[in-house]
């Protein structure tokens, strides 16, 4: 089944707007630890500032996702982008740890109305057998925007200061908002919305594949959150600049983006669970190796490993989520799918900050590496009906 010209136009509007929105978010990644440190944030408090973004996402995403199955998805996306833009000013005006926490909460609320709803919008458009490449395209745009962001943010911070980074975030978000309001059609059509099934979390969680998907998303997010939050802490110990830190964060995310569409096509032709297993274990090993990286070259190699791991696993996970969305409601599934990621983004920084305060920075990455190994293994057991080691086939 080929896409119509109208569907291609909708897809490109969504992909470009998500790219610009994520670019705006990504620019602050290498800046936040240093910016928050000006107000005395370190260890646990720094983890709490990062985690509050995901606390808000976790609270609102299931509700927003379910509501979007009954209403116009475009309204949710546009409203969320407007909140993004307002949040960018909040970062500049904040002058304490408490105020930064509340700005992060507002920013997370806006995110709850954008990313999962855009994913549901694209899921609605996905033909059977093409879920991997459609979600691969969506995640390629998402990771590309977030990947270029830290690189740009690190350079702008070094040359102009943090306030200009937040202004940049607001400007990119406003561009995305204009594209959505002026070019994106309202929702996906009344007939398709009427056909959308809707289920409660209690009904959905009875599906073992759904539970396996949530476990994978959660454990991966724990590792990714620790990486973004505490890689700057680890790297600055070896006199690596903010621009170089931005490059390291961007490198693995951009590689993940570049691999999304290819492995999306692979996920449409082979075992999606096997791809999740391989990608998850590559990520885990890379995280465990981070404390051994004492140079920029070593950090680059490990960052590339993380990019490959996510590039292999994420399109397959997104394809499974799309399949489940046809049975349980696309907005509903994408809301809970991203909620599990937000829960990981909460647990990761807070527990990692606590471990940093007690034991030191190397143990942060050992902890999250073990979490990812356990999470990947558990998710594979729930996602697969049987595991054939002899043929390397997981179904």
Helix/strand/coil (H, E, C) string of 103-132? Answer: HHHHHHHHHHCCHHHHHHHHHHHCCCCCHH
How far is residue 376's CA from residue 370's CA, in Å, rounded to a whole number? 10
How far is residue 147's CA from residue 139's CA, in Å, rounded to a whole number? 11
Residues 6+ apart with CB under 8 A from 211: 205, 382
Can you give the pLDDT at residue 42? 66
- Token duo for residue 104: 């992060």
Can you give the pLDDT at residue 199? 55
Can you give the pLDDT at residue 389? 38
How far is residue 153's CA from residue 198's CA, in Å, rounded to a whole number? 40
Can you give the pLDDT at residue 49? 79
- Token duo for residue 12: 């490109």
Can you give the pLDDT at residue 153? 77
pTM score over 0.85: no
> Which pLDDT tens digit goes with each residue over 302-337?
999 999 999 999 999 988 988 888 888 777 788 788
Taking 50 as the pLDDT cut, the residues of the chain under it are: 1-2, 188-195, 386-395
Report the DSSP pairing between strands 393-394 and 387-388.
antiparallel
Can you give the pLDDT at residue 163? 79
- Output phi, psi for 198, to 5 deg: -135, 135
Do the beta carbons of residue 103 and residue 53 sit within 8 Å?
A: no
Can you give the pLDDT at residue 374? 96
Helix axes of 242-267 and 131-159: crossing angle, nearest 10 degrees: 170
How far is residue 22's CA from residue 16's CA, in Å, rounded to a whole number? 10
CATH number of the domain located at residue range(s) 5-394 in this protein:
1.20.1250.20
Can you give the pLDDT at residue 171? 84
Can you give the pLDDT at residue 278? 96
How far is residue 67's CA from residue 75's CA, in Å, rounded to a whole number? 11
How far is residue 298's CA from residue 290's CA, in Å, rounded to a whole number? 8
Do the beta carbons of residue 193 and residue 74 sit within 8 Å?
A: no
Helix (H, G, I), strand (E, B) or coil at 329: coil
Which DSSP letter does residue 354 get? H
How far is residue 338's CA from residue 328's CA, in Å, rounded to a whole number? 15
- Buried/exposed code over 292-331 (b: 16+ C-beta within 10 A; e: otherwise): ebeeeeebeebbebbbbbbbbbbbbbbbbbbbbbbebbbb
Can you give the pLDDT at residue 313? 94
**What is the residue extent of each domain of the chain?**
5-394
Can you give the pLDDT at residue 41? 66
With CA atoms as reference, report the closest residue to 145 among 113, 184, 185, 114. 114
> Which pLDDT tens digit goes with each residue over 97-119?
888 889 889 988 888 888 888 88
With CA atoms as reference, report the closest residue to 310 among 185, 385, 216. 216
Helices (H), the chain: 5-26, 32-37, 44-68, 73-93, 97-112, 115-125, 131-159, 162-183, 190-195, 201-204, 208-236, 242-267, 272-289, 296-328, 330-359, 361-383
Do the beta carbons of residue 204 and residue 328 sit within 8 Å?
A: yes
């Amino acid at each position: 089944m080929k896409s119509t010209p109208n569907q291609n136009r909708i897809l490109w509007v969504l992909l470009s707007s998500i790219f610009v929105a994520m670019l705006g978010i990504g620019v602050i990644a290498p800046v936040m630890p240093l910016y928050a440190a000006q107000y005395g944030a370190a260890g646990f408090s720094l983890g709490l500032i990062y985690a509050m973004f995901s606390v808000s996402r976790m609270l609102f995403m299931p509700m927003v996702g379910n509501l979007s199955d009954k209403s116009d998805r475009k309204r949710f996306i546009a409203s969320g982008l407007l909140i993004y833009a307002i949040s960018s000013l909040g970062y500049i005006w904040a002058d304490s740890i408490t105020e930064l926490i509340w700005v992060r909460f507002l920013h997370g609320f806006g995110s709850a109305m954008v990313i999962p709803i855009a994913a549901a919008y694209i899921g609605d458009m996905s033909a059977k057998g093409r879920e991997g490449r459609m979600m691969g395209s969506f995640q390629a745009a998402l990771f590309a925007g977030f990947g270029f962001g830290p690189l740009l943010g690190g350079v702008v911070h070094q040359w102009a200061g943090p306030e200009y980074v937040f202004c940049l975030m607001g400007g990119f978000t406003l561009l995305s908002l204009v594209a959505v309001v002026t070019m994106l059609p309202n929702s996906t059509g009344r007939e398709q919305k009427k056909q959308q099934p809707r289920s409660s979390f209690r009904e959905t969680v009875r599906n073992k594949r759904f539970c396996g998907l949530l476990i994978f998303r959660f454990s991966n997010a724990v590792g990714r959150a620790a990486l973004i939050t505490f890689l700057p802490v680890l790297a600055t110990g070896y006199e690596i600049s903010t621009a170089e830190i931005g490059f390291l964060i961007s490198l693995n995310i951009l590689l993940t983006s570049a691999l999304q569409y290819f492995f999306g096509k692979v996920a449409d032709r082979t075992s999606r669970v096997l791809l999740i297993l391989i990608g998850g274990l590559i990520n885990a090993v890379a995280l465990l190796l981070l404390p051994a990286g004492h140079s920029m070259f070593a950090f680059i190699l490990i960052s590339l490993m993380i990019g490959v791991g996510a590039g292999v696993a994420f399109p397959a996970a997104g394809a499974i989520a799309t399949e489940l969305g046809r049975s349980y409601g696309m907005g509903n599934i994408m809301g809970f799918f991203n909620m599990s990621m937000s829960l990981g983004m909460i647990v990761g920084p807070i527990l990692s900050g606590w471990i940093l305060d007690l034991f030191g920075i190397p143990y942060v990455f050992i902890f999250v590496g073990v979490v990812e190994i356990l999470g990947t293994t558990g998710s594979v057991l729930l996602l697969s009906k049987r595991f054939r080691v002899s043929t390397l086939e997981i179904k």
